[in-house]
Amino acid sequence: MASRTQHEEDGTTTEYHDVTVAGDRIERLLTELLTDHWGDVTVGPILEGAAFEIRFTTPPTLSMLDGYLTVDTGPWHFHLCVGEHRGAPAPLAKIRPVARAAFFRSTGSTCVPGSWGLRLWNGRDEQMITIFFPNPHYDERTEQRQAPDWTKTALWESFRDRYAAPERSADASEVVSAS
Classified by CATH at the fold level, domain 14-55+96-165 comes out as Heme iron utilization protein-like fold (3.40.1570)
Which of the pair, 146 or 68, is modelled with greater confidence?
68
CA–CA distances in Å: residue 73 to residues 55, 58, 77: 11, 7, 6
The overall average pLDDT reported for the chain is: 88
- With both helix axes pointing from N to C terminus, report the angle between 25-36 and 154-163 in degrees, rounded to the nearest 10: 160
pTM for the full predicted model: 0.87
Is the pLDDT at 170 greater than 60, yes or no?
Answer: no
pLDDT for 177: 44
